Each structure stands twice: as structure tokens, then as C-alpha cells.
């Protein structure tokens, strides 16, 4: 008698995949990321348009967002750890999308009634609207941070189970979704605003988030139903286990049966809770200091982690101007690259990032997780040497004789505008604010800027592979009950170094000093990878430089001390 299970047909296998928890997480993440990328791109353009083509509101918004995550990252992670998974995911989803919808509607009103609002109370009503938009948008970003922590750093780990290879594949797929939406979503909303108006763009984003919120809510519920392990967190399991172990000891001491001791145990639990009630009665000072204590304990817990240096190495990579942000694109414009060329370079950067995610899964299977980080870091740093060479190549504007504070002084004195940044932010409308008299002279050579972008694009392969390595190290080596707070502190560290890199640019904004910023950026990247090397060598020792068999790779794949998931 043949007891083997019948093989599934192709249609049944496809149906199982499209109804699996893994695919539903991909769908929910794609919808969430698409909305985030559209909003993050559009809100900067909206703020510039509202404030008369000035970057002031955009700069204030960026500072508020970075400062909020820096200060509240540990508290957000602690909230994620202390509450049920489904409640955290649904609450953060509702808050995030609701805030974006409110901001969209508010911006529509401001765009439509801007002239009337500017005349009321000497413009104070309009200023209040600006403050409300920035405040609500910041709340949306904090909720997005909570969503990212709970889904990408916790739910993905639980859905993957104990399978490290499956976890790596899921992380890589999530990162590919990030790469694609990072390019396609801004393109869509940019075309809507270019062929329509900013008013229509606001309405489209608000409507998208309203529909997306309903679909994502349903997807989260389906994933939760298909993955029973999501229902109970490690902290809750440990507490139940301690109560079960405590009950027999109480029974032996008091000579009671387990049934008789059940009621006294409940009373004792109430007695244990009394000190908390007393602490609440101390006044509002104790409650007000709770976020500060959470902030301190979160950073202390992060410092005590075995993967501390690996996390720090990732944060140091944010202290760089060698990325496709407004700083590098603005510098490229000063070097004679037009918008068409910049769009092609950004596309090449996205392709390189996708190649990095694919390379991560391939290298990890053959060399192990920790060695993958070492190889990726070495590849990234090697490619960035091209950027250092570009500083001294023909066509480079690098000149230390020009004071790096000269442009800062002229900006503060109001003697110079920002044609480059305005051009970048208004490229969707095909307008340029720079007058003809300020057009940049043609370069003698494009070798410098070519080497710069060649290094930046090639380094994306190693960068994204390294990012995935550190992400999975944190997922696998942080106990489940601290997963939220550790990832919250990691986000804070990333934002801190990102803030420092913006401050560095503010202090030296002229193109002649950009070469100095490139050297400083590569130095920070090198320091970050030195930290990772210290972590890797401490974990593997001399085996770090040896090829390993699949069995040896499995033994060293999880890092220094992979904790058992309770």
C-alpha cells in the first residue's frame, strides 16, 4: 500500500504560494513602502512650493523627523516589545496612514486657499498650517518606524521560523521591494504633479493611503491567522513558565494542592502589583520620567549586545555624502550633469542595489553570514576608493584654498540663492530658478565626476549586501523580548550619524569643499567596517579568513551567541 502523499499540481503550488504568510507579508510591505516613498518624495516638494521655493520648511521638517527618531527610537521599540504583535502592527498602520491622509487633506486646503489664509491674522493662520503639517507628518514617520520594526525585524523572523536560509531570502526580497518602490513610486507621483497639479498630487496620495490602509489591515490579519507563533511573545511565554514553576514550590511549602493554591497565587500576583500602584501615586514626575528611563535602559541594552559593533558599523555608513540624495545630486548638477543623466545614474544605482541583495543570498549560502558581511564590506570600501581618486582627478573642483565657510556666510547674509537645490526639487515642473547670469561654465573634463559616480554605483552592491548581513545578525542574535527596543536604538543611531553628515555639509557647502567631504565620508565607512571586522574576528577568530564547508558554515552562521527563541 502506497502511503506517500500525492504530489501537488503546478496550479496548487502556485495557489499555496500566493496564499502563504510569506507572500502576504511581501504584498503588505510593498503597499506600505509604496505609500511611504510617494509621501516622502512629495512632502518635500510640497513644503518647498508652499514656502516660495525656499528650502527652509524642508530643512525644518528633516531636522524634526531625525531628532524625533533619535530621541524616541528606544521608546518606540519598547512599546513594540511590551504589546501584542497584532495590536502593534494594526495601531502603527492606522496612525501612519491616518496622519498622511490628514496631511494630504490639509495641504489641499492650503494650496486652494493659500492667498486667503496668508491675509488672515497677518499670516499666522498659514504659519499654523505649516506647523500642523510638519507635526502630523512627523507623527506619521514615527508610526512608520514602529511598522518597520514590528514587520521587518520581528514578524519576518517569526514567519521564517528557525530556518536561517529562509530568513535571508525573505530579507533579500523585502529589500528588493524597497529598491523598486524607491524609484517607481516617486516617478508616479512626480508625473501626477507635473501633468496635473500639487492639489491633485495631495488628493492622490491621500486616496492611495486610504485604500492601502484597508488592504494592508486585511493582509496583516491573514498573516496573523496563518502564523500561530505570532500570537504569543517571548516575554509572555517566560512569565507563564515562571508562574508554572513557582506554583509547585508554593504547594509544597504550604501543603496545598495546585487547585487550592490557585487563589492565593492570584492574590500574591496582586500584591506584587501593589508597588506599581504606589509608584503611580507618587505623582506625575514618576510617570513623566518613564520615557527617560526607557531611553537610558534601551541604549544600555544595545551597548551590552554581542552584535553592538556590527550595529555600530552599519550606523557609521550613514555618515556619508556618497549616496543618491539631494546633496550628491546637487553636486552633480554643479558639475554639468543634467536631469536626464542623473535619472539614468539613479536607475543604475537601483540595479546595483538589487544585485547586492541577490549576491547576499548567494554568498551567505557558501561562506556563512558573518563572512558575507566581511566580504561585502571589503567590496564596498574597495569601490569607494574610486571616489577618493575622483577628488584628485582632472575636472575636480577640489580646492582647499577656498574657505569651506564662505558659502555658509553668504547664505546667512542672504547674498546667494540656492539655484541648484531649487532646480532639483522643481525638476518635475521642468522649471529652473537659476537666472541665465548664474549658469555654470562647462567643465574641462568629466573624469572626476565619472569616477565619483562609478564608485558610488559600484559600492551599492557591497552596501546593500552588508546592510542585509547586519540586519539578519540583529534578527538572529537579539532575544525576542528585546527585539523591538534594540532595533529602535539602531534606528536612532542611524539617524544620529545621518544628522551629523547633514551638519558636515552645512559647514562646508561649496563645491570646492566637496572633495574633503568625500574623504571624510570614506574615512567613516572605513571605521565602520573596522568595527565589523572586530566583531567578526571576535566571533570566528582566524576562521574568518578560511573557506568553510556547509557544516562548518552552519555552526558559525548565527554569530557569537545565538539565543534560543522561547
pLDDT in tens, 194-237: 888 888 989 999 999 999 999 999 999 999 999 999 988 765 54
Q: What is the pLDDT of residues 68-88, one digit of tens each?
A: 999 999 999 999 999 999 999
Q: Kindly state the average pLDDT of the residues 383-392.
A: 94
Residue environment code for 187-222, b if the CB has 16+ CB neighbours within 10 A, otherwise e: ebbbebbeeeebeebbbbbbebbeebbeebbebbeb
Reply yes or no on whether the pLDDT at 437 is more than 60: no
Residue 28 above 60 pLDDT?
Answer: yes
> Angle at CA 528, nearest 5°, toward 526 and 530?
70
Same domain for 207 and 315? no
Residues 341/178, Cβ–Cβ less than 8 Å? no
Q: Which of 230, 258, 287 is the last residue of a domain?
A: 230
Higher pLDDT: 9 or 27? It is 27
pLDDT score at 370: 92
Q: Residue 384: which CATH number?
A: 1.20.1250.20
Q: State residue 338's pLDDT score.
A: 75
Rounded to 5 degrees, φ, ψ at 134 are: -65, -40
* Range(s) of the domain holding residue 380: 296-403+445-539
Torsion of CA 111, 115, 117, 123, to 10 degrees: 120
Give residue 163's pLDDT band: very low, low, confident or very high (50, 70, 90): confident
Section 187-200 average pLDDT: 85
Are 207 and 322 in the same domain? Answer: no
Give a yes or no: residue 109 inside a domain.
yes
pLDDT over 70 at 118, yes or no? yes
57 pLDDT higher than 50: yes
Instruction: Provide the domain count of the chain.
Output: 2
If asked whether residues 46 and 166 sit together in one domain, one would say: yes
Percent of the chain with pLDDT strictly greater than 90: 43
More confident: 547 or 481: 481
User: What is the predicted pLDDT for the residue at 436?
Assistant: 43
Question: What pLDDT score does 6 carry?
Answer: 62
Residues in the chain: 566
If you ran DSSP here, which 8-state letter would residue 436 be given?
G
| 125 and 204 together in one domain | yes
Last residue of a domain, one of 230, 260, 279: 230
Q: What's the confidence (pLDDT) of residue 25?
A: 94
Q: Would 465 be classed as within a structural domain?
A: yes
Mean pLDDT over residues 141-154, rounded?
92
pLDDT, residue 542, reads 72
Model confidence at 494: pLDDT above 80: yes
Q: What is the pLDDT of residue 354?
A: 92
Q: Give 509's pLDDT tier (boundaries 50, 70, 90).
A: confident
Where in 227-303 does DSSP place strands (E)? none
Let me know if residue 564 belongs to a domain. Answer: no
CB 68 within 8 A of CB 291: no
Is residue 275 in a domain?
no
Q: pLDDT band at residue 189, thresholds of 50, 70 and 90?
A: confident
Spatial contact of 94 and 213, defined as CB atoms under 8 Å apart: yes
The distance in angstroms from the start CA to the end CA of the chain is: 41
In terms of Cβ atoms closer than 10 Å to its own Cβ (0-12, 13-18, 19+), residue 401 is exposed
pLDDT at position 382, please? 95
274-283, 401-410, 463-472, 474-483 — most confident range: 463-472
244 falls within a domain: no
Check pLDDT > 80 for residue 526: yes
> What is the model's pLDDT at position 427?
39
- Window from 165-169, 191-195, 256-260, 366-370 with minimum mean pLDDT: 256-260
pLDDT in tens, 269-305: 333 444 444 445 456 776 777 888 888 999 999 999 9
pLDDT at 248: 45
Above 90 in pLDDT, residue 500? no
> For the residues 160-183, what does the mean pLDDT come to?
90
Best CA proximity match to 44, nearest among 205, 207, 196, 213:
205
What integer pLDDT is reported at residue 204 of this predicted model?
A: 93
pLDDT of residue 499: 87
Q: Calculate mean pLDDT across residues 122-133.
A: 85
Q: Which of 160-169, 464-473, 511-520 has the highest mean pLDDT?
A: 464-473
Regarding whether 20 and 133 lie in a shared domain, the answer is yes
More confident site: 383 or 59: 383
Q: Are 194 and 429 within 8 A, CB to CB?
A: yes
Query: Above pLDDT 70, what percent of the chain?
Result: 77
pLDDT value, residue 325: 75
Q: Is residue 501 part of a domain?
A: yes
Residue 563 predicted with pLDDT over 50: no
Per residue in 6-26, pLDDT (tens digit) is: 677 777 778 878 888 899 999
User: Which of 147-156, 344-353, 519-528 is least confident?
Assistant: 344-353
372 in any annotated domain: yes
Model confidence over 302-334: pLDDT tens digits?
Answer: 999 999 999 999 999 999 988 877 678 778 878
- 212, 382, 389, 421 from 504: Cα distances, Å: 38, 24, 21, 17
Domain boundary among 194, 212, 230: 230
What pLDDT was estimated at residue 283? Answer: 63
Tell me what pLDDT residue 3 has.
Answer: 55
User: CA nearest 301: which of 2, 75, 96, 86?
Assistant: 75
In this structure, the answer to whether residues 327 and 449 fall within a common structural domain is yes
DSSP string, 481-537: GGHHHHHHHHHHHHHHHHHHHHHHHHHS-SGGGHHHHHHHHHHHHHHHHHHHHHHHH
Q: Is the pLDDT of residue 359 over 90?
A: yes
Mean pLDDT of the chain: 79
Are 171 and 308 members of one domain? no
Half-sphere exposure of residue 224, counting CA atoms within 13 Å on the CB side? 18
In this structure, the answer to whether residues 213 and 355 fall within a common structural domain is no
Taking the whole predicted model, whether its pTM rises above 0.95 is answered as no
User: Is residue 216 located within the same domain as residue 320?
Assistant: no
Asked if residue 491 and residue 399 are part of one domain, the reply reads yes
- Give domain status of residue 189, yes or no: yes
Amino acid at each position: 500500500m502506497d502511503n506517500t502523499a500525492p504530489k501537488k499540481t503546478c496550479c496548487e503550488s502556485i495557489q499555496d504560494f500566493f496564499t502563504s504568510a510569506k507572500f502576504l507579508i511581501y504584498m503588505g510591505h510593498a503597499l506600505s513602502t509604496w505609500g511611504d516613498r510617494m509621501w516622502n518624495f512629495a512632502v518635500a516638494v510640497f513644503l518647498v512650493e508652499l514656502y516660495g521655493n525656499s528650502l527652509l520648511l524642508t530643512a525644518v521638517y528633516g531636522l524634526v523627523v531625525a531628532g524625533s527618531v533619535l530621541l524616541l527610537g528606544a521608546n518606540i521599540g519598547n512599546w513594540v516589545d511590551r504589546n501584542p504583535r497584532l495590536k502593534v502592527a494594526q495601531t502603527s498602520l492606522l496612525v501612519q496612514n491616518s496622519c498622511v491622509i490628514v496631511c494630504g487633506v490639509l495641504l489641499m486646503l492650503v494650496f486652494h486657499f493659500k492667498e486667503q489664509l496668508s491675509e488672515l491674522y497677518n499670516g499666522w493662520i498659514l504659519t499654523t498650517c505649516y506647523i500642523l503639517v510638519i507635526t502630523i507628518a512627523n507623527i506619521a514617520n514615527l508610526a512608520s518606524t514602529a511598522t518597520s520594526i514590528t514587520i521587518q525585524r520581528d514578524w519576518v523572523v517569526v514567519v521564517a521560523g528557525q530556518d536561517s536560509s529562509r530568513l535571508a531570502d525573505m530579507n533579500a526580497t523585502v529589500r528588493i521591494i524597497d529598491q523598486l518602490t524607491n524609484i517607481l513610486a516617486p516617478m508616479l507621483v512626480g508625473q501626477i504633479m507635473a501633468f496635473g497639479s500639487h492639489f491633485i498630487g495631495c488628493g492622490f496620495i491621500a486616496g492611495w493611503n486610504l485604500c492601502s490602509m484597508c488592504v494592508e489591515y486585511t493582509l496583516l490579519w491573514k498573516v496573523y491567522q496563518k502564523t500561530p507563533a505570532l500570537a504569543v511573545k517571548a516575554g509572555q511565554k517566560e512569565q507563564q513558565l515562571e508562574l508554572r514553576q513557582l506554583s509547585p514550590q508554593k504547594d509544597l511549602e504550604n501543603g496545598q494542592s495546585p487547585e487550592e493554591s490557585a487563589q492565593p497565587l492570584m492574590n500574591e500576583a496582586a500584591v506584587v502589583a501593589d508597588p506599581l500602584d504606589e509608584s503611580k501615586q507618587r505623582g506625575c514626575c514618576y510617570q513623566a520620567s518613564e520615557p527617560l528611563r526607557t531611553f537610558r535602559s534601551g541604549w544600555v541594552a544595545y551597548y551590552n549586545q554581542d552584535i553592538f559593533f556590527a550595529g555600530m558599523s552599519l550606523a557609521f555608513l550613514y555618515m556619508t555624502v556618497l549616496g543618491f540624495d539631494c546633496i550628491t545630486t546637487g553636486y552633480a548638477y554643479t558639475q554639468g550633469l543634467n536631469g536626464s543623466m542623473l535619472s539614468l545614474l539613479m536607475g543604475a544605482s537601483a540595479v546595483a542595489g538589487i544585485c547586492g541583495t541577490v549576491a547576499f543570498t548567494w554568498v551567505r549560502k557558501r561562506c556563512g553570514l558573518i563572512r558575507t558581511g566581511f566580504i561585502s564590506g571589503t567590496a564596498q570600501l574597495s569601490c569607494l576608493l574610486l571616489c577618493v581618486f575622483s577628488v584628485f582627478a582632472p575636472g575636480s573642483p577640489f580646492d582647499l584654498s577656498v574657505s569651506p565657510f564662505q558659502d555658509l556666510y553668504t547664505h546667512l547674509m542672504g547674498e546667494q540663492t540656492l539655484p541648484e537645490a531649487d532646480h532639483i526639487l522643481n525638476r518635475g515642473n521642468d522649471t529652473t530658478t537659476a537666472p541665465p547670469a548664474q549658469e555654470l561654465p562647462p567643465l574641462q573634463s568629466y573624469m572626476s565626476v565619472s569616477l565619483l559616480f562609478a564608485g558610488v554605483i559600484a559600492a551599492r552592491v557591497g552596501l546593500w549586501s552588508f546592510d542585509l548581513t547586519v540586519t539578519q545578525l540583529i534578527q538572529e542574535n537579539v532575544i525576542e523580548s528585546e527585539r523591538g527596543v534594540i532595533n529602535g536604538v539602531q534606528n536612532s543611531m542611524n539617524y544620529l550619524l545621518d544628522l551629523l553628515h547633514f551638519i558636515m555639509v552645512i559647514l562646508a557647502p561649496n563645491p570646492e569643499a566637496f572633495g574633503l567631504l568625500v574623504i571624510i565620508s570614506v574615512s567613516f565607512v572605513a571605521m565602520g567596517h573596522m568595527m565589523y571586522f572586530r566583531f567578526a574576528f571576535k566571533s570566528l577568530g582566524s576562521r574568518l579568513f578560511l573557506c568553510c564547508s556547509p557544516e562548518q558554515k552552519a555552526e558559525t552562521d548565527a554569530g557569537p551567541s545565538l539565543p534560543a527563541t522561547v
